Structure 1
Amino acid sequence: MKVLILHQHFNTPQKGGALRSYYLAKALVDQGIDTIVITGSNSTQQYVEQVDGIEVHYLPIAYENRFGFYKRSFSFLKYIFQSVSLAGKFKDIDVCYAISVPLTIGLAALWIRSRFGIRYIFEVGDLWPDAPIQIGVIKNYFFKQFLYSLERTIYQQADSVVALSPMIKDAIEKRAPGKKVHLIPNMADTDFYFPEIKDTRLEEKYSVQGKFVVSYIGAVGYANGLDYFLECARNAQKASLPIHFFLCGEGGMASRLQQSARKIQLNNFTFVPFTNRDGVRELMNITDASFICYKPLPVLETGSPNKYFDGLAAGKLIVVNFGGWIKEEIEQRGCGIYSDPKYPTDFTKKIQPYIYDAALLQQAQQKSRSLAEEKYSRKKLGKLFTGIFGEKI
């Protein structure tokens, strides 16, 4: 069997960033399935690499998190045309696996199906076009209706759809009644991240000896609402709590957040540039609580953020500032807390028991790791994923 994966933002462990598509491709390769990936890169030339048995084709299509709406849209459209053109050069492809975001990846899958007769499975990580509409990026009524129509068509023409969260699965089933929808969340790499005793050398390196460390590790974009994270740091500083905050990542809001931190004179906050997963694991070692932050929009409660699963695998207390299925899960499992975004002081109130009661913190952290192993381990979800392709043989 041969599978073609379309994902414009394919990352490798060496590069860093979200690794879901790498994990999925590796799971296929480990089952003896020939796997080709078409992705984009900031290179000026097209090139091919073999990555752990995965044949990865890089198209010269620039993209960065700091791009605005129109520049992103141009990059997305460019990927459609070039990926479809390249797909026609491969022979004996059995199934195309198209990974959104963005929704426009579905156009490439539809085109490949029409031109080359290759069936496709469509993965939905975020509900588009709901996300850009609720954020306010897309306002034109007719364009909204066009995108909703496109969304339904992509679902209906797919062999099946993969949803990354229960809420996304429910939404797709309502929009495409009768369509087979698989639930395969993001994965916790329990073989790479795991609970560790804090390394005193790292505590010294980051100047956090004797501190309770709260880290946000991920995208630094508008949707992440990280002004709230700064407000939590500000209130913790006012309350003289022994907490240090780390923000690690890249994105369009990074510079502004750094300026804001300097303006309000935070001395309990450190910005760490984007790093690969070895760098993330180093930061995770000194972290007590993993913070996951979004703006208060309903659509952002439906997602499946990588940082949640990394935090679980590393055995960290989880802190969220949004509702939805993750809030419900961490409260049910006793591995995290919800900090109300309407009240920045809510964080300082709810985190204090974990600062001053080591046994309580350890209990929550152990529950995080147990959840990762039981429900989200890379091996378990990889097996579930490859099983979808077994149905297609």
Structure 2
Amino acid sequence: MRITLLHQHHANPDCPATCRQYSFMEKLAYRHHITLVATNAWRRLRLQHKYSWAPAGVALHECKASYSNKMGVTARLVAFVSFAFCSFVKLMRLPKTDVLWAVSVPLTVPFVVAQVARLRNVPWVFEVQDLWPSFPIEMGAVKYKWLQKLLYKVELSLYDSASHIITLSPDMTAYVLARGIDPTKVTTILNGTDIEKTDAVTADEVEALKVKYKLKGRQVVLYAGTYGRANDIPTIMRSIELLADNPTIVFILTGTGYYEPQLQHLAQRVPNLILLPPQPHDSVFALFTLADLALVTFNDLPVLASNSPAKFYDSLACNTPVIVTNPGWTKTFVVKYNCGWYTPAEQPELLAQTITEVLANPEELKRAGLNGATIARELFDRDHLVKDVEAILERVAKR
């Protein structure tokens, strides 16, 4: 089967990124012809050179279009439009494929694929990784009502146009179905994680980190991800301040984004914060294994409750329980499987209290960690999830 993937945010494991599509392409390329159209924007974030930029066997076609998590609304819009134009031209010039695969965000990616699919009479699959346009609208980036209505209309037309829709969480699926889409054309395939990278972490590696950062006798709370405006970083910062007098608890944060300057300033003022630079994807698993507890935080917005964050899966796979602030499916999940705790977003005093209480109960902490690791191997392994993706692509291609 010939599969052509359009993915604006392609990155490899040398980058501080989740690498879901990289993992899937790596496995699919053994059995199918994979073509990837992407930007070169993430190449500059490469922190090492252990991996090929695209998996072996994948034909890569790149567009030069800049992008950064620190960009403002106008700069992001320019980047989206630039990539949309370039990728449309490339897709139209490539040999005809059996199936097109669009990975959002942004909404311009599935829009381009839908046009190419129509013009070339090729079926396509829409992978919804974030709910657009709901996300930028609820974040206040799209203020005009007429534009909001237009974007929602485009979104619905893309759901209708796609031969099949893949979502990354049950809440995303519920959202799509609420738009009137046929349930038979929507499948939830969780974001997942790379279990083999979890298993590759050694005790010596973790011990070396403890020595390096002077963590002996201290309990570690980890946040590994984007310091973005949607990630409730001010709540984490305030919680760190509230626990600054507790010498047994240390916070490790690794990532980049909008709140990085404020975090750097905080790290100079308090003794319980270690701020690390972004880590390559394969290195972050050692930090999750080191941690006693991980934070998965987002602002109190309805659209963010549907998120399927990589750090949620990576942490549980590493035997590290999580505190989530989303009232959606992640809250339901940690309660059902007893692998974490929930505190409402934007309540730093309650978050600090929960952290203190959880870390004071080592038996409960250990039990939650074991529960998370067990369910991660059952539900989160990308070696298994890719088979579901492959089945959908094959079925759509035959149709």
Q: TM-score normalized by structure 1?
A: 0.93
Partner of 1:235: 242
Structure 1: which 4+ aligned runs deviate by more than 6 Å?
none
Identity %: 27
For the 8 Å contact 1:161–1:181, the answer to whether it is kept is yes
Structure 1: distance between partners of 2:188 and 2:344: 28
For the 8 Å contact 1:27–1:383, the answer to whether it is kept is no
Structure 1: distance between partners of 2:16 and 2:58: 17
Structure 1: distance between partners of 2:38 and 2:28: 17
- Quote the offset at 1:341 in angstroms: 3.0
Q: Is 2:304 the counterpart of 1:305?
A: no
Partner of 2:15: 15
Partner of 2:48: none
Partner of 1:249: 255
For the 8 Å contact 1:196–1:285, the answer to whether it is kept is no
**2:2 partner letter:** K
Q: Is 2:39 the counterpart of 1:40?
A: yes
Do the aligned partners of residues 270 and 181 (structure 1) sit closer, same or farther apart at CA in structure 2, a change above 3 Å counting?
Answer: same
Partner of 1:29: 29
Structure 2 gaps, min length 5: 45-51
Partner of 2:226: 219
For the 8 Å contact 1:66–1:253, the answer to whether it is kept is no
- Quote the offset at 1:340 in angstroms: 2.8
Structure 1 gaps, min length 5: none
53-62 or 155-164: bigger deviation: 53-62
- Quote the offset at 1:87 in angstroms: 1.1
For the 8 Å contact 1:353–1:360, the answer to whether it is kept is no
For residue 271 of structure 1, give the secondary structure of its aligned residue in structure 2.
strand
Q: How does 1:60-209 map to 2 (within 5 A)?
A: 60-178=64-182, 180-194=185-199, 197=203, 199-209=206-216
Q: Deviations over 1:118-154 (max 9, x none)?
A: 2211111111111111111111010001100000011
Matched pairs, number: 386
Do the aligned partners of residues 168 and 260 (structure 1) sit closer, same or farther apart at CA in structure 2, a change above 3 Å counting?
Answer: same
**1:7 partner letter:** H
For the 8 Å contact 1:232–1:347, the answer to whether it is kept is yes
**2:38 partner letter:** T
- Quote the offset at 1:49 in angstroms: 6.0
Do the aligned partners of residues 56 and 176 (structure 1) sit closer, same or farther apart at CA in structure 2, a change above 3 Å counting?
Answer: farther
Q: Is 2:268 the counterpart of 1:269?
A: no
For the 8 Å contact 2:10–2:39, the answer to whether it is kept is yes
Please provide the CA RMSD for this pair: 1.9
280-289 or 194-203: bigger deviation: 194-203
For residue 70 of structure 1, give the secondary structure of its aligned residue in structure 2.
helix
For the 8 Å contact 2:159–2:181, the answer to whether it is kept is no
Structure 2: distance between partners of 1:110 and 1:227: 39
Structure 2: distance between partners of 1:149 and 1:77: 18
- Quote the offset at 1:266 in angstroms: 1.6
Partner of 1:2: 2
- Quote the offset at 1:323 in angstroms: 1.0
For the 8 Å contact 1:156–1:176, the answer to whether it is kept is no
